Structure 1
């Protein structure tokens, strides 16, 4: 087995608990069915991903309000109350990150789909984001996972050898895209599973 020397972390869903439900379940007075309809049909994940790739939040909001004026109040809440969607760190994974970041045998970097306009909020809130040697933020690069360009940016920027690199992400499509470039992947489910899979690659945690 090729010795791993680099670990790439996704952020949202792996290290940071982010969920629009934290805003909209309250907005819809606990009516989960109405909330799910809104998030599946109006402020969709695909719409949010467009902002992750660099589209301006204000313009995205304006576009959607023009398309669905009857939902203006809730559409404006998406980025207006975005900070409330941050539920906190996923503690078990932060401990794993700390162990790897302290180990000089590994380069530890991050690759995240995140708007460049909201990422500074996360950087201020989560001290552990300073532990990475570097972070590739999709909104700053004007592309996102699972497009190959963003992986190539990470490879070039951090001088990575794909065959010696592991990528941890909670989205299987992002893992498959990394695999296509020769990067090994761990489809994240929970901290215990992550520890087990890292051990399969002979990566020891302190």
Structure 2
């Protein structure tokens, strides 16, 4: 029997729309491509979520990847909290799970500065019973440490827990700890998959 629901944030409870945000800044196609490769598509971006380096250090490393657009990179990183928007269904989704007796936790890769913004603006965050965010433990999914941190913090019985994420490697890592998993591609399909596990929604 499932008693615990663990939810990723990006693409599960909120839309990580970095490309749309970049386009809204009015950059041409070449700049968009270069900016993407120097930030969200680079290996450095994971370190942004890990939280071991300061925002200034992350910005410097990204700028080193493409010195010709350093001003655009600086602006994007400084305003990157705008890349994520809460899904309209997220509040009711968590409320319904909790109403039916489930513990709900968040497990997400998120940098400290941007998560502070999210906490102030996303209504679903305070509804959860808790969670582990990557910058807090200096570890990002799919690394084992972040899953263990969540399990230990809340004494989760993984055989009675299901983890929802949009990223297959993150789900595969969760399986090694005994979690049931659901690959989120669209909300209605995720609800169907939860019902198959006898989760009441």
> TM-score, normalized by length of structure 2?
0.92
What residue in structure 2 maps to residue 57 of structure 1?
Answer: 55
What residue in structure 1 maps to residue 69 of structure 2?
Answer: 71
Query: In structure 1, which of residues 190, 196, 199 is the aligned counterpart of residue 192 of structure 2?
Result: 196
Question: Structure 1 residue 44: deviation in Å?
Answer: 3.4
Structure 1 residues 107 and 195: alpha-carbon distance in aligned structure 2, compared to 1, 3 A threshold: same
After TM superposition, list the pairs within 5 Å mapping 1:155-170 onto structure 2: 155-170=151-166
Moved more, 55-64 or 176-185: 55-64
After TM superposition, list the pairs within 5 Å mapping 1:38-187 onto structure 2: 38-39=35-36, 41-45=37-41, 46-54=43-51, 55-86=53-84, 88-104=85-101, 106-187=102-183
Query: In structure 2, which of residues 19, 33, 55 is the aligned counterpart of residue 21 of structure 1?
Result: 19
* Number of equivalenced pairs: 199
Question: Structure 1 residue 66: deviation in Å?
Answer: 3.7
Moved more, 55-64 or 170-179: 55-64
Question: Structure 1 residue 9: deviation in Å?
Answer: 0.4
Unaligned regions of 5+ residues in structure 1, if any? Answer: none
Q: Counterpart of 1:17 in 2: which secondary structure?
A: strand
Q: How large is the RMSD of aligned CA atoms in angstroms?
A: 1.7
Unaligned regions of 5+ residues in structure 2, if any? Answer: none
> TM-score, normalized by length of structure 1?
0.90
